[in-house]
Structure 1
Amino acid sequence: MGMSYSGSGAGGLRPVAAEHSAPPRVGRRDKAGWYLPVALTTDVLGIGVPVLVLFDVTRQPHPLLAALVATAVWLCVRASHRRYTAQELGESRGVLPVVRDWLTLLGVLAVARVAVGESSEPALALLALSATLPATVACRKATHRHLTALRREAQAVHRVLVIGEPGAADDVVEHLAARTDHAYVVVGVVPVGEGTLTSGVPALARLGSAPPSAQDEDWIPVLAATEQLGAELVLVAPGPGLSGERLRRLSWALHDAGLPLAVSAGLTDVAMRRIHTATVAGLSLLHVAAPTRRGPHLVAKSALDRAGAALGLLLLAPLYALLALAVRLDSSGPVLHRQTRIGLDGAPFTMWKFRTMVADAEQRRAELTTANEQDGPLFKMRRDPRVTRTGRWLRRSSLDELPQLVNVLRGEMSLVGPRPPLPDEVAQYDEVAARRLTVKPGLTGLWQISGRSDLSWDETVALDLRYADNWSVVGDLDVIARTFRAVVDGRGAY
C-alpha cells in the first residue's frame, strides 16, 4: 500500500496513512527460495556423510557423534560468517571464503579434540573434513550462476532511485546499466538543478538549487517519486547542489520513511580492500590506499610466478614435445615464434610462443591492414589467412601460449597480468593506457577470462587498468582457476 507523510521538517517525518496500491513489480525481485535449503543441505551432507562413512569404515571411535559434532561446528562457522543470509547467498562464487571457513572449522575442531581427548586418526579426520570443500564450492558456483542469469532478466534485483546533478546522475546510471552482475536496477532519477538527463531514465521530479529555507522540503518530491516507482533504495550522487546539511536532512527523511540510502563516492574500479572510512571533524572520509607496487605482496607474487612456471615446464615437457612435432609437420618454419613485447615500465623483452602462422606472417601483415576487425591499436582477424591448421587449434586451446612460462621463469612476465603489448601498440598509448605498464604483463589475466579478442580496445584497457590498480596474490589465484574454464570455452580465441 502507498503511504502519506506529515511533519514540518525532515527530522519529524513519519508515515501516517495508506492511500493507494503500490505499483506492480517488474520481474521477481527476490532471490530463488531454494538457495538457503540447498546451501544448508550441501553443508550438512558434504561434511556429515564423509565423516560418518570414513570413521565407520576405518573403525574410528564414535563415528556418529563425530559426524554430528563436525556438522554442527561447520554450520555454526558458516552462520557466524553470515554465509546463509539473503544478502550473501548467490552473490559470490569465490573459493577463498570457503577455504577461510574450512580453516576456522579445523581450528575449532582441533581445540575440541584436545579438550575432550578424542583419539581418532588425525589424517583420516582431515581427509573426511576435506570432502566439504568441493561440495560447498560447487553449491556457491551453482547459486551464483543462477542468480546471474536471473539478473540478466532484471529479476532478483533492487529498484533504485538516483538523486544528483544531471551529469553525475547520468554517470551513475550508465555504470550500473553497463553490467548485469549486481542487484541494482535504476527505475528513476530525481535531478538536482538545471541540466538535461541523457540516460533515458524517467525523471518524476526535480530538485532546485534549494535556498536554505527550502532544504527541508526536498523529501516531498523524493518520497513521492520512490512511492510512485516502487523504489527500494535511494542512491545519491553528491555534488555542489546536494551536499553537507542538505544531504543530511534528506537522509533523515528517507530513514524515517524506512528507505535505505546509499551515497556514491564517485570512485570506479577500486577494490574494497583499498578503501577504509574515517570521520574527521564531523566529515565522513574515504581513504584510498595506493596500488601495491612493492613490499611482501610483490615478493610473494614473484615467488608464486617462478615456482608455478618451473613446475609447469617440468610437468608439461612431454606435451611441449608433441606440440613442437605438430607445428613442424604442419608447415615449414621454426617451431617457436619470437616477438618483441613491452613489459614492466616499458622495458622490451622477447616473448616466445608456438608458431601458429606461416613463416612470413609479419611481412604479410601490411596487406591485411584494411581487414582489421579490432578497434584501437590492436590487430585481430577471425579468419586470418596467415594462421595454419595446427595454429588455429593451438590458438583455440591457448596452448600456443605455453612457452611464455619461460618468460615467467626469467621474470619478464607474470602468471597473471595485463596482455603483453607490441611496441607499435605502446607507441599509440595515451597517459591512461600507459598505466598498464606499471605491472608485469601476464600469461593470463582478466582479459583472458572475459572474452579475449571479442573485447573492444576500451574494454581491454579497462580490464588491464582494473588489474594493475587492484591486483593481489589472492586475486591472481582466482584468475588462474578461472582461466581453465576460459580455455575450455575458447570464446574470443582466434
Structure 2
Amino acid sequence: MTLLSVRRERIASTTPSRALRYLPATAFVLDLAVMLGIGTVAILGRAHLAVFDNATDVSSSLRVAGPLMMVGWLLAISTAGGYTRNVFGAGTDEYRRVLNASLVAAGLAGVGCYLAKFSLSRGFFVLAFALGIPALILGRSLLRRAVHQARRRGALQQRVLIAGSRSHIDEIASVLRREPWLGYHVVGALTPAYDLSEETKSGIPVLGHTDEATEVVKEAGVDVIFFAGGGVGSASQMRKFVWEVEQHDVQVVVAPSVTDISSERIRVRPVGGLPLMHIDPPTAIDASRIGKRVFDMVGSLALLLVFAPLFLLTALRVKGHDGGPVLFRQTRIGRDGREFGCLKFRTMVTDAEELLARLHAEHGHGEGLFKLKEDPRITGPGQWMRRFSIDELPQLVNVLRGEMSLVGPRPPLPREVATYDDDTHRRLRVRPGMTGLWQVSGRSDLSWSEAVRLDLYYVDNWSMLQDLTILSKTVGAVFSSRGAY
C-alpha cells in the first residue's frame, strides 16, 4: 500500500459531521414554529386590535385559510430554494430567498382569496405577513449565528480537498483557516503531476495529483473539493469530473485567484456557457464623496452634543489625577499623507513619549503599532478610559474638521508610514476613522499584517452600508473590551 493510499484511508476513516444533513430540516422546523407563533399573534391581534375588520366573526374562515396560507408559505420558500443545503452559513442568498418567497406567498394568498371571493380577515393577513417576514429572517439569522458558533468550536465541519498548484492551495487554505465560521476543514491537497512534493508549504498533505481527483474524492470521502489555480487543465476535464462525482454528494467549488473583494464588486455573467467573473473597480474614490462627508459632519456633531456630560466628567478626572493636561495631541497621518493633530484624552503619564524608546528596546519592537497589555505609562483614569475607548471621543472634533471620518482605517503615526510598502500606502487613500474593521475585529489583539489586510479591504470595498454595519458593531466591541489596552 502506498503512502498516498494510507493518507486517503486515514481521512476516510474520520467521522464526517452528520449534523449538517439535518440543517435544512432544522430550518424547516424553525420556519414552521415561527409561522405558528406569528399566526397565533395575528389571530389575537386581529381580534383585539380590530385591524381593518369590523365585528364580523371570521373565525371559521381563518380555520381554513390559516393552515392553507402556512402550507403555501412553506412551499414557496422550498420552491425558492430556501432549504437547499448550500445556502446556509454565509452570504445574503438565504435571506433573499426567504424574503422573495414570502412576498410571492403573500401576493398569491391575496390574489387567490380575491378571485375565489373568500372572506379572509384583512387584519389577519396584514399582521401575519408584516410580522411573519421579519420573524422568519430573524429566525434564520439566529440559526446562522448558532451554526457559526458551533463551527468555531470545531463542530459542523465539512472536509475539504483543494486541487491546484501549491501556492494557490496555501492561499485558499489560509483564507479558510482565517474564517473558521465557514466550517471548512482542509484535509488534503491535489497537486499537478509534475509536483512530487508530499505536502504544501503550509503543511497540507498531498493526497495525489489533480488528474486523480475523482479517485481521491471517492477514496477519501471528502465533502467539498475546491479547484484553485492549476487544478484543472481544461474546461472539458472539469465537466467530466463533475459528471463522475455527481452520485457521491460532493460539492464542487471553483476558487479563482481573487481574495478580499466584496460581493458587491463581483458580477458573474455566463457568455456562451462560459461563466465570466467581472470585478468592478475599487471604491476608494467613493469613500471620499460628499455623501460620506455630510454623514460624518452630522454624526460627529450629534455625538458631541450627546457625550458632552461625559466629556466634562472625563476632563475633571484626568485633571484631578495628576494636574497634567487633559488632552493629548499626537501627529498622525491622514488622507493622501497629510499630517494632522489627532486629539485624545490623556491616558498616560506626562513623560510617556520619553519612555517609549526604552520600551521599544526592551520588547524588541520593529514595525507597526506598538501596544502593551501591561503598559507602565498608563495612568489610573487611563485604564477605564481605554477599556471603553472613552479616550478617543475627542477625535469627534477631528471628524468635524474633516481630518478624520467616523469609519475608516486606523490613523497611523509618521514613523509607521515611513515603513509602508506600496500596497500598505493604499490605506492613506481615504480619511482615517475613529472606528473601522480593525476595531470590530479585535483591535490590539490583531497582528500587524491582519490589521493592514482589514484596512485595505475597507479601502477597496467601501460602501455606506458597510459603514453603518461597522458603527453598529462598534458598540458591542467597545462594551466587550476585547483587544482594548
TM-score, structure 1 normalization: 0.78
Aligned counterparts of 1:414 and 1:42: Cα–Cα separation in 2: 44
The residue correspondences of 1:141-152 to structure 2 (distance < 5 A) are 141-152=141-152
Is 1:407 aligned with 2:398?
yes
Return the match for 2:19 from 30, 38, 46. Answer: 30
Does the CA-based 8 Å contact 1:417-1:467 persist in structure 2? yes
Counterpart AA for 2:180? T
Aligned counterparts of 1:297 and 1:78: Cα–Cα separation in 2: 41
1:244 offset after TM fit, Å? 4.6
Does the CA-based 8 Å contact 1:29-1:158 persist in structure 2? no
SS at match of 2:222: coil
Deviations 1:78-130 (A, max 9, x none): 66765554333454699996997799699969x98xx8999989xxx799946
Is 1:205 aligned with 2:203?
no
1:389 offset after TM fit, Å? 1.0
- Structure 1 residues 359, 68: closer, same or farther in 2, change over 3 A? farther
Return the match for 2:359 from 355, 368, 376. Answer: 368
SS at match of 1:235: strand
SS at match of 2:277: strand
1:394 offset after TM fit, Å? 0.7
Aligned counterparts of 2:40 and 2:289: Cα–Cα separation in 1: 41
Aligned counterparts of 1:76 and 1:314: Cα–Cα separation in 2: 51
Deviations 1:380-433 (A, max 9, x none): 111111111111101001121222222222222222211111111111111111
Counterpart AA for 1:492? G
1:350 offset after TM fit, Å? 2.0
Match of 1:472 in 2: 463
Deviates more, 1:70-79 or 1:275-284: 70-79
Is 1:160 aligned with 2:160?
yes
The residue correspondences of 1:166-185 to structure 2 (distance < 5 A) are 166-185=166-185
Return the match for 1:452 from 433, 439, 443. Answer: 443
- Structure 1 residues 412, 83: closer, same or farther in 2, change over 3 A? farther
SS at match of 1:205: strand
TM-score, structure 2 normalization: 0.79
Counterpart AA for 1:155? A
Does the CA-based 8 Å contact 2:162-2:188 persist in structure 1? yes
1:309 offset after TM fit, Å? 1.8
Counterpart AA for 1:188? G
Counterpart AA for 2:87? E
Return the match for 2:335 from 338, 341, 344. Answer: 344
RMSD, aligned α-carbons: 4.1
1:460 offset after TM fit, Å? 0.7
- Structure 1 residues 234, 94: closer, same or farther in 2, change over 3 A? closer
Aligned counterparts of 1:45 and 1:281: Cα–Cα separation in 2: 46
Does the CA-based 8 Å contact 1:163-1:190 persist in structure 2? yes
The residue correspondences of 1:481-492 to structure 2 (distance < 5 A) are 481-492=472-483
- Structure 1 residues 282, 141: closer, same or farther in 2, change over 3 A? closer
Aligned counterparts of 1:325 and 1:107: Cα–Cα separation in 2: 59
Deviates more, 1:91-100 or 1:45-54: 91-100
Aligned counterparts of 2:249 and 2:365: Cα–Cα separation in 1: 49
Aligned counterparts of 1:369 and 1:314: Cα–Cα separation in 2: 39
Aligned counterparts of 2:132 and 2:344: Cα–Cα separation in 1: 39
SS at match of 2:420: coil
Deviations 1:170-196 (A, max 9, x none): 333333233312132222222112242
SS at match of 2:369: coil
Match of 1:9 in 2: none
1:378 offset after TM fit, Å? 1.4
Match of 1:191 in 2: 191
- Structure 1 residues 460, 329: closer, same or farther in 2, change over 3 A? same
Aligned counterparts of 1:94 and 1:401: Cα–Cα separation in 2: 37
SS at match of 2:370: coil
- Structure 1 residues 489, 105: closer, same or farther in 2, change over 3 A? farther
Aligned counterparts of 1:55 and 1:249: Cα–Cα separation in 2: 58
Greater per-residue helix proportion: 2
* Structure 1: segments with no counterpart, 5+ residues: 1-19, 208-217
Return the match for 1:222 from 213, 221, 227. Answer: 213
Aligned counterparts of 2:411 and 2:98: Cα–Cα separation in 1: 32
Deviations 1:446-492 (A, max 9, x none): 11111111111111111111111112111122111111111111111
Aligned counterparts of 2:58 and 2:397: Cα–Cα separation in 1: 50
- Structure 1 residues 382, 39: closer, same or farther in 2, change over 3 A? same
1:256 offset after TM fit, Å? 7.1
Aligned counterparts of 1:132 and 1:244: Cα–Cα separation in 2: 42
The residue correspondences of 1:114-129 to structure 2 (distance < 5 A) are 129=130
Deviates more, 1:373-382 or 1:388-397: 373-382
Aligned counterparts of 1:63 and 1:320: Cα–Cα separation in 2: 59
Return the match for 1:440 from 419, 431, 437. Answer: 431
Counterpart AA for 2:150? L
Aligned counterparts of 1:194 and 1:56: Cα–Cα separation in 2: 73
Aligned counterparts of 1:106 and 1:246: Cα–Cα separation in 2: 42
Aligned counterparts of 2:364 and 2:140: Cα–Cα separation in 1: 37
* Structure 2: segments with no counterpart, 5+ residues: 1-8
Does the CA-based 8 Å contact 2:38-2:128 persist in structure 1? no
SS at match of 2:85: coil
The alignment covers a number of residue pairs equal to: 459
Identity of aligned residues (%): 38
Deviates more, 1:247-256 or 1:327-336: 247-256
Is 1:305 aligned with 2:296?
yes
Deviates more, 1:69-78 or 1:28-37: 69-78
Deviations 1:198-221 (A, max 9, x none): 2433333225xxxxxxxxxx3xx3
Return the match for 1:275 from 266, 270, 283. Answer: 266
- Structure 1 residues 296, 363: closer, same or farther in 2, change over 3 A? closer
Aligned counterparts of 1:282 and 1:102: Cα–Cα separation in 2: 28
Does the CA-based 8 Å contact 1:161-1:231 persist in structure 2? yes
Does the CA-based 8 Å contact 2:58-2:121 persist in structure 1? no
Counterpart AA for 2:156? A
